[in-house]
């Protein structure tokens, strides 16, 4: 008989008590609960790390991107716009021909005391919703405002064109100086000088 068989024969008559079995089951359940708690803590830590990275990315970029609907060239267009918090913005959109277009700018307001301040996001969106003038390659000149596109090529007198645009109850008065900018107001035409 080998040592292994001797040990087997000696210990085969021994049995574990019921208390020992209960303790073993309790230890198994405690281990499962510990693993479950560990998994929950690990998942929460992952969520915090990912959330922190997203916030850090947004802070690092300088602003948070928003997708808004703007009127561009008389068509309502989905635009991804990012404000930098200092009165500037960058935007990206797809035109009617499927080309990705980029734009951007900066805006300041002059306060009553003469000091400058950057425009807020709402003020910048207001300027982007205002009229726009386009000089096309074919020589035509167009004014866009909300859903309107008006050709004004033949309406210039002494290099100036006055255009009144109406959208429901809203009216916009646009003064266009040929190849020299334009002004607009919801109240009256602004002098072209």
Residue 100: both structure tokens together: 């990705």
Pure H helices in 62-184: 121-128
Q: Kind of pairing, strands 132-135 and 141-145? A: antiparallel
CB 133 within 8 A of CB 143: yes
What is the pLDDT, as a whole number, of residue 192? Answer: 59
8 phi/psi in degrees, rounded to 5: -60, -45
Q: How do the pLDDT tens digits run along the chain, 193 residues long?
A: 787 777 677 666 666 555 556 666 666 666 666 666 666 666 666 566 666 555 544 444 455 677 877 777 777 788 888 888 788 888 888 887 888 888 888 888 888 898 888 888 888 877 777 888 889 899 999 988 888 889 999 999 999 999 998 888 888 899 999 988 888 888 888 875 5
Strands (E) across 45-159 are located at 65-72, 75-83, 88-94, 100-106, 108-110, 116-118, 132-135, 141-145, 148-151
What is the pLDDT, as a whole number, of residue 99? Answer: 85
What is the pLDDT, as a whole number, of residue 19? Answer: 56
The pairs formed by 112-118 with CB atoms below 8 angstroms and a separation of 24 or more are 117/87, 118/85, 118/86, 118/87, 118/88
């Amino acid at each position: 008989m080998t040592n292994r068989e001797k040990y087997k024969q000696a210990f085969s008559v021994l049995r574990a008590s019921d208390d020992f079995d209960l303790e073993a089951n309790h230890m198994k359940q405690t281990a499962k609960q510990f693993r479950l708690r560990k998994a929950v803590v690990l998942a929460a830590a992952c969520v915090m790390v990912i959330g922190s990275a997203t916030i850090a990315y947004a802070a690092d970029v300088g602003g948070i991107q928003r997708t808004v609907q703007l009127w561009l060239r008389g068509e309502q267009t989905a635009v991804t716009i990012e404000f930098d918090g200092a009165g500037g913005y960058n935007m990206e959109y797809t035109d009617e021909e499927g080309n990705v277009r980029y734009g951007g700018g900066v805006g300041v307001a002059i306060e009553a005391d003469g000091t400058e301040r950057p425009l807020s996001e709402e003020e910048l969106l207001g300027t982007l919703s205002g009229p726009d003038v386009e000089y096309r390659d074919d020589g035509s000149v167009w004014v866009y405002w909300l859903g309107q596109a008006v050709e004004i090529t033949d309406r210039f007198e002494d290099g100036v064109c006055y255009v009144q645009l109406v959208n429901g109850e809203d009216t916009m008065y646009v003064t266009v100086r040929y190849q020299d900018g334009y002004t607009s107001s919801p109240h009256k035409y602004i002098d072209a000088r």
